[in-house]
Amino acid sequence: MKTDELRELAVEDLEIRLQEDREELENLRFQQTLQQVENPLRLRHLRHEIAQLKTVIHEYELGIRKREEGKSA
C-alpha cells in the first residue's frame, strides 16, 4: 500500500493494519527458519510497510496530521 493511501486511513485502521502486518512478519520469520518461505522479498516488503504505518501513526500523535473521525477506506 502506498504512503498516500495509508495517510487517508483512520488511526484505528492503521493500528489494526500494523498488528496484522506484525503477525504476518512473525509467521514469515518462523517459516524462514524452517526454510519454507515461498517469497523471501515479502519479508522486506512487510518491514517497509510496518515502518510506514508507524511513521503515519506517529505523525498523528505529534499533531502533524489531524485526526478525522469516521473516515476510513
| Mean pLDDT of the residues in the chain | 87
Which residues form the domain of 55? 3-62
pTM of structure: 0.81
Angle between helix 11-33 and 41-62 (nearest 10) = 150
Instruction: Tell me what pLDDT residue 65 has.
Output: 76
Q: Residue 72 to residues 10, 49, 62: CA-CA distances in angstroms?
A: 5, 18, 20
pLDDT digits (tens, 9 = 90+) for 24-55: 999 999 999 898 888 889 999 999 999 999 99
47 within domain boundaries: yes
> How many domains does one find in the chain?
1
12 within domain boundaries: yes
69 within domain boundaries: no
